[in-house]
Structures are given as structure tokens and as C-alpha cells.
Structure 1
Amino acid sequence: MNVLLDNFPAFRDGFLGTLSITAVSSVIALLLGLLIAGFRVSPVPPLRFFGTAWVTLLRNTPLTLLFLTSFFVVPEILVPGMSPFVLGSLALGFYTSSFVCEAIRSGVNTVPLGQAEAARSIGLTFAQTLRLVVLPQATRTVIPPLSSIFIALTKNSAIAGAFSVAELFGWQKLMSDQGYDIVPIFAWVALGYLLITFSISGIFQVLERRIKVAR
């Protein structure tokens, strides 16, 4: 308990840092994943190729390597001066977007083909068909896997602590360097992650119940 009480401001900053990078990278992953999923099921071959290349590249690249690229290549070549928080959020969001994309694409594939054909027969474009007909139905099967993906994202955010991003892993390292017992440190860090992951799980459970009621 002493390690927490004596260093509560640092723990609070670490917890809020983990919460912030989780929230920002989740939004990035969801928006990018939705866009790339649209590319993956698009009737336009170049878009399908780009979506496939995006998923294949990011899913098969170690997350640590993406962080290294984000922190040491992007600032030097593309956008200098970006904060560690932004770089970490981008690396984590881009990586997770490939998993979000595949979850959404799997949900899209559960929608009967006749639904899309009927939408096209009344003059809807591909984008309109996807937005108004296919995705609302696919959501029912997409919610459970998305919950697991965003919980994994929360745990993956620990890597950002090794790249000067203020979060729970960074607090753990600071306390260890100061000579505190490692067991209570890990206990408090685990509690912080559990609070976030249980909250994510609860949010998705609420979404699942609402979707079931709406059937």
C-alpha cells in the first residue's frame, strides 16, 4: 500500500496515460478498420488489393517493430516534432486496425448476399449499401470479437511505456528503479489494467444487450 500512497500522483498520471492512449488508439483503430474493411469488400480491385496489403503487412509485423518505426523513422522522414503520445497512439491504432478490419469483414460476410443485391436493385451505391444495409446487420456479429480486440489493445499499450509515453508500465519501471518491492507494484499495475479492461467489457456487453433487444 505504501508504494501507492507515497507515489499516488505518479500512479494517477500513469493510469490516465494508459486510459488516454487506449481511448485515442481505439478510435484510430475503429475508424481505420472500418475504412479498410470497406476496401476489402469493395468491387474495385485496387481498393481490395490495398486493403489486403494493409491487413497482411500489419498483422504480420511485430508491434514492437511498429513502435520502433513510428518513433525513430516517422519523425525523421515524415513528420518531425510529434509527441511520444501521438506516435504511440498511431502505432497502436494502425496495428489494431488490421484486426478490427478482419472482424468487421467477417461480420459483413455473415449478411446474406441477397441483401446487397436488393439494395443495388433500388439504386443504392456500394457505399450506401454498406452503410445503410450491410453494416447495421453485421454489427450483431462484430461486437463480441471487437470487445476482445480492444481489451488486447489495452494490454498492448504497455509497450508505449518503453518509448517515453507516460502510462502504467512507465510507473512500474519508475517504482522499480526507486527500490520498491516488485510484487505490490505489479499488483497495483494489474489492478489499473483490470479497471480499464473490465470497463471495456462492460461497455460491449451493454451494446450486445441493446442490439439483441432491437432484433
Structure 2
Amino acid sequence: MDELIKYGPALAEGFLVNLELSLICGVLSLIFGTILVAMRVSPVPVLRAAGSTFVNVIRNTPLTLLLAFSALGLSDTLGLAFSDDPTTNAFWLVVLGLSAYTSTFVCEALRSGINTVPMGQAEAARAIGLTFSQTLRMIILPQAFRAVIAPLGSVIIAMVKNTTVAQAAGLLLDVAFVMYETFDTTGVSIPIFIGVVIAFMVVTLPIGWFTGWLAKRLAVVR
């Protein structure tokens, strides 16, 4: 317990980095995931192929390898840089890798939601002259989102926990890295470990409860 009190401020600061990553990546993942699912159900073959290839490649690549590629491949080899500050650059490389990874799961969740929408609704929309994008935006996606609120909640929870591997892209500020540093100094501390676990549960449990409640509240009646 003494170790938790002593290193508490540093752990809290690291946890705030994880929360910041979660918030930014969560928003970007929902945006990119929606774009990807639009590509995957598009009537244009090239867009369908591009969306399918991206999702299958990224979704089946281990996250740590994807983040390492962001740091070593995109940044060190190709020269991609978001900032001259190494820490800031590493932060946004994590955002890039984690958002790309999570967006593929958002895409697949939304695609399963689209499959729950009766085909007749899309046919009726086309019959009254709506374009594919109008049908998707005004009829299909609103129902798809409502149908997969709970699965999307699970994706977001997984993403929050995945922020703990941010050091794979060179970000040495997150709570997992700080925890490892304290273990190197003090030895493995059960109170510190439990404290970090509880901190994540304080974030993830309400997300699960809220999305479960919202899913029941907004369920589409067929």
C-alpha cells in the first residue's frame, strides 16, 4: 500500500494518457469504421475490394505489430511525423495505429447491424429515387447503429484496454509503462497492480452498463 501511495501521482498521470488515447481513438474509430462499412457495402466493386482488403489485413494483424510498424515503418523508415517532439509524435502514432485497428472491428459490427435491416427497406428507398448514399445515411445506418450498440460497447471496452500496449509504438507515458517502471524499482507490488486494474474497471464497467441499457432502450422492433 505504501508503494501505491508513493507512486500514485505518476500512475494517475499515466492513466490520464490512456484515457486521452481512448477518447481520441474512440471518436476516430467510429468515424473510420463507418466509412469502411460504407465501402464494404458499396455497389462500386473497387470500393468493396479496398474496404474488404483493409479490414481483413488490419483486423488479423496483432495490435503490437501494427503499433510497432507505425513507429518503425511509417515514422522511422518513411519519415511520417506528426510533431518534432518525440513524445507527441509517438502519441499520435499510437492514435493512428489503434484507430485503424479498432475501426475494423467497428466496421464489422456495423456490417452485422446492416444485415438486420430488411432488404425491402433499401428496395423501397431506391424505388422512390434515393441514391445509395442517401439510403445508407438516412435509412440503413441509423437502424444498424441501434442494432449493434452493445457490440460497439464491447469494441470500445477492448480499445480502452488495448491502450496499455502503447509502448509498442514508443509511447513511454501510459500507465502500463509507469507500472513496469515501479516494479523495476520496488519489485512486483500487488497493491499497485490491483490499483491499476480497479482504475480500468472504473472506466470499462460503466461503458458496458450504459451501452447495455442504451441497446435495450433503442432496440429496433421488427
TM-score (norm 2): 0.90
Q: CA deviation at 1:86?
A: 0.8
CA shift digits 1:26-75 (9 cap, x unpaired): 11211111100000000000000011001110111111110111111212
> Is 1:28–1:90's contact at 8 Å kept on the other side of the alignment?
no
Quickly say closer, same or farther: Cα 1:213–1:142, change in 2 above 3 A: closer
What fraction of aligned residue pairs are identical, expressed as a percent? 43
Q: Which moved more, 1:193-202 or 1:130-139?
A: 193-202
> Is 1:37–1:101's contact at 8 Å kept on the other side of the alignment?
yes
Match of residue 142 from structure 1: 148
Q: How does 1:31-180 map to 2 (within 5 A)?
A: 31-76=31-76, 77-82=78-83, 83-162=89-168, 163-180=170-187
Match of residue 184 from structure 1: 191
| 5+ residue gaps, structure 1 | none
Which amino acid is 2:69 matched to? T
Which amino acid is 2:105 matched to? F
Measured on the aligned residues, the alpha-carbon RMSD in Å equals 1.8
Instruction: Tell me which of 179, 188, 201 is aligned to 2:208.
Output: 201
Q: Which moved more, 1:72-81 or 1:47-56?
A: 72-81
Quickly say closer, same or farther: Cα 1:165–1:132, change in 2 above 3 A: farther
SS for the counterpart of 1:94 is helix
SS for the counterpart of 1:12 is helix
Which amino acid is 1:104 matched to? L
Q: Distance in 2 between matches of 1:91 and 1:166?
A: 17
State the 4+ residue runs in structure 1 displaced beyond 6 angstroms.
none
TM-score (norm 1): 0.93
Query: Aligned residues, how many?
Result: 215
> Is 1:103–1:145's contact at 8 Å kept on the other side of the alignment?
yes
